[in-house]
Structure 1
Amino acid sequence: MKSVFITGCSSGIGLLAAKSLRDRGYRVITSCRKPQDLEQLVTQGFDAVLLDLDDPNSVQQAAEQVLSLTDNKLYALFNNAGFGVYGKLDSISRQQMEAQFSTNFFAIHQLTQLLLPAMLKQGEGRIIQTSSIVGIIATPGRGAYSASKYALEAWSDVLRLELAKTNIKVCLIEPGPLKTNFSANVEQTEKNRVVKNPPIAKRFTLPPEAILPKLYHALESKSPKVRYRVTFVTQLAAVGKRLLPDKLMDKILVSK
């Protein structure tokens, strides 16, 4: 039975992925930040570890627990946990920017490097990241979040290249608008100028289950894709970014 460690399992994509992969026959180890959420995961029959991505000591301890639970035979790491800081750049302090990167980027680097040796030793593994449509195109009001996802995309590209001669695959899942609690949990820096998704996004919003076929393929295909674009909006953004001149993209994005 292959073991998968998933971060951010208190709700949304993480919890859905944990339940689905368990049903699919994987040994799933979950994580969350709050003790009460940990209790809920244990009640549902999961192995669970506390993980505060803002605390390097917590990341270290969680990695040690995961390796102990799997007897140093972890097959896959799904770096799913994250949050968003929304607001114009001039409203975001250095501390808020650091917090955004601490959770969405620095912790992923630390956790992955702690777990990667076990994959290298066994000669196989999968590292899967939850990125975002704003990891493809940066939009006004989402500068901090977008910057953290751009960093994750570049970091994942480099890690994939550095592991090219191994049997460890690195994949990015790029959701667009999904029906989760993510937007409700966004940290808005300007209460009188809340950043919202454009109305057209509702037309293309999908349930979180839309990520599951992508996740299965990333875990199970002998030749997984580098990037899995989940929604039509994400696919359209990727095409536009590649084909349209920068100044035309600017006009489109500023007009929204």
Structure 2
Amino acid sequence: MSNPIDKIYQEIISSMKNGYSKADVLKDFYSSMDFSTMKLEVKDYGFDFLETMEKAGIIVEYVELKGLIHKYKLKNIKPVYQKYLLEQHIEQSGNVCGYYHKTHNNVFSFNLDNSHNENNTELTIEMRTAVQVIRKYLNEVGIEPLIINSGRGYHIHTRLDKPVSNEKIQKFMISVTARTQVTIKDLGMDVAKVIFNNYPGKDTRIGSLRLFGSDHIKNQVFSHVCTKQGVLNERDSWIYFADYINKHTITEEQLDKAIIDIEDILFVGAED
């Protein structure tokens, strides 16, 4: 009997031969992001790169140098260069970070990092517990999240079939985050060991999040998908990521129900 995941893989490979690439999968998943603006994290660029961007008509809004890591915020990126930079991301020649839309988004993400007092390359018990608790609450309100090991923490995504107002998304995420923090405290753990950042945030001009599909620029850890059965390898992570779009994308109506349901869970927890 053939392995179902191999069948899915062959379907994805077939679609890519027909012009549908991994870069297209990323654009489909993060469809509300404006890829004419990106933050790029690389090790081997510099003045030559800046000159190339200028010739391509790309605006370099700012440059940040931290050791060997160069960070660029790029604007006015034409589609052909968007594809090139996404392919560089996929080939692990650098990281592309996307900016969430300022008013409406089709993806919302919990970004969990170790606190600065912890070893950023080691996932603490508090971190692993936070991921399990968020998954538990999302499952309880009918959402199957996409959980990705970011290299020093986790990105926990939910995808919607159309952009939804940031106000509605933030209301839900704040409720989930608050309940998660209370639960960690109730388990006797130090919640301060985990940094919680929600995307989209209040100011979408500032925050960007690394897209799935590359190595972490510092520790070279691939963004593996984490399922209930375990951590997937790189190939199977791409398969799961592409398949997630069809299997686990939710509607705005499902989000509306989840907002009500999570508030009921918070209320019950407060009464306990």
Q: TM-score of the superposition, structure 1-length normalised? A: 0.26
Greater CA radius of gyration, 1 or 2? 2
In terms of fraction of residues, the more strand-rich structure is: 2
State TM-score, norm by structure 2: 0.25
User: Higher helix share goes to which structure?
Assistant: 1
Per chain length, whose mean CA-contact separation is higher, i.e. which structure has more relative contact order (CA < 8 Å, sep 6+)? 2
